[in-house]
Structure 1
Amino acid sequence: MQVLQVQLEIRPDPAEVGRARRWARSRLAGSGIETDEPLAETLILLVSELVTNAVVHTGCPAVLRLSLPGVPGESLGTVRLEVADSSDCPPRPRHAEGDETNGRGLELVDGLADRWGWNPEGVGKSIWCEVDRCTSAAKAPAAYVTYQGFAYEAYEAV
């Protein structure tokens, strides 16, 4: 199976989060994942969370990497995204309470990605997540679920 790998350098500036989302949208569309697909929306949210964490919590430049399966039109595989930075501080999942405005990022990543983790990389680290890709015909809506006060459409493989 072919895998397309692309990357974007991120400056330690909150404006970079929007730039990373736009860049990721264009790369997903180029790989055959349409911007209005639930998969694309999930991946863009994951990009936003991981890039925001790198920008806000490290203050270091970072690199966003996307690994996209196959070629346009191919419907199976795993999309992997990762953000590498030069901070050696490991990610620290937190649990936000009530009206707190921070502390939900990694919980959200955990709830939306099929897998996630982190690895030391050089003098820093890489935080990654993966979402398994399958055709919409292979997935059927199972239910709406609530996670941390937000409603999500849950899918179950058929």
Structure 2
Amino acid sequence: MVVPHQATGARLARHRLADELGGLVSPVLLADLVAVLAELVGNAIRHADPLPGGVVRVAWRLRPVSGGQVVQLRVTDGGATVGPRLRAASPDAVDGRGLHIVAGLASRWGVDRDGLGQCVWAEFDPACADRPDLLVAG
């Protein structure tokens, strides 16, 4: 889906994700997916340029694997001068913890770059989950 490169974009993406995956994944996993997607879209809006047309592209997919399904979230924006990275945030800092949240909830995450911008992705893999409540229904 394509959302505007503004705060309403994160809300639209969260609601659509919850509507589409609500019956397919556990409630705990859905909460984690919504939190991570909100963080990734929020970061794209705050720190990166939009794609042409003033938008951010948001996608998710479920991929069957042994033991369940992997859920992958992808947020593509126009890129920034400094790429996404984990930052050290002091206890008093008001920001700087977003990708730590992503790293803590997702099995893995990363950044892909191409000529149009960058895509930050996060995967939730039941093979990597140490909490059975995060397993995706098969």
* TM-score band w.r.t. shorter chain: 0.7 to 0.9
Q: Are 2:50 and 1:50 equivalent residues in the alignment?
A: no
Identical residues among aligned pairs (%): 30
| Residue of structure 1 in register with 2:16 after alignment | 23
Deviations 1:7-63 (A, max 9, x none): x11211112111111011011125x125xx111111111101100000111141210
| Residue of structure 1 in register with 2:105 after alignment | 112
Q: Which 4+ runs in 1 deviate beyond 3 A?
A: none
Is the 1:79–1:132 contact (alpha carbons within 8 Å) kept by the matching residues of 2? yes
TM-superposed CA distance for 1:122, in Å, is: 2.6
Structure 2 counterparts to residues 38-77 of structure 1, below 5 A: 38-60=28-50, 61-70=55-64, 76-77=68-69
Q: Which has the larger radius of gyration?
A: 1
Is the 1:95–1:107 contact (alpha carbons within 8 Å) kept by the matching residues of 2? no
Residue identity in the other structure for 2:48: T
Residue identity in the other structure for 1:82: R
Q: Are 2:74 and 1:82 equivalent residues in the alignment?
A: yes
Distance (Å, rounded) in 2 between the aligned partners of 1:139 and 1:123: 38
What's the TM-score, normalizing by structure 1?
Answer: 0.70
What's the TM-score, normalizing by structure 2?
Answer: 0.80
Q: How many residues align?
A: 125
Structure 2 unmatched runs, 5+: none
Q: Which has the higher contact order (CA 8 A, sep 6+)?
A: 2
Larger strand proportion of the pair: 1
Distance (Å, rounded) in 1 between the aligned partners of 2:69 and 2:111: 21
Is the 2:49–2:78 contact (alpha carbons within 8 Å) kept by the matching residues of 1? no
Q: Secondary structure at the match of 1:62?
A: strand
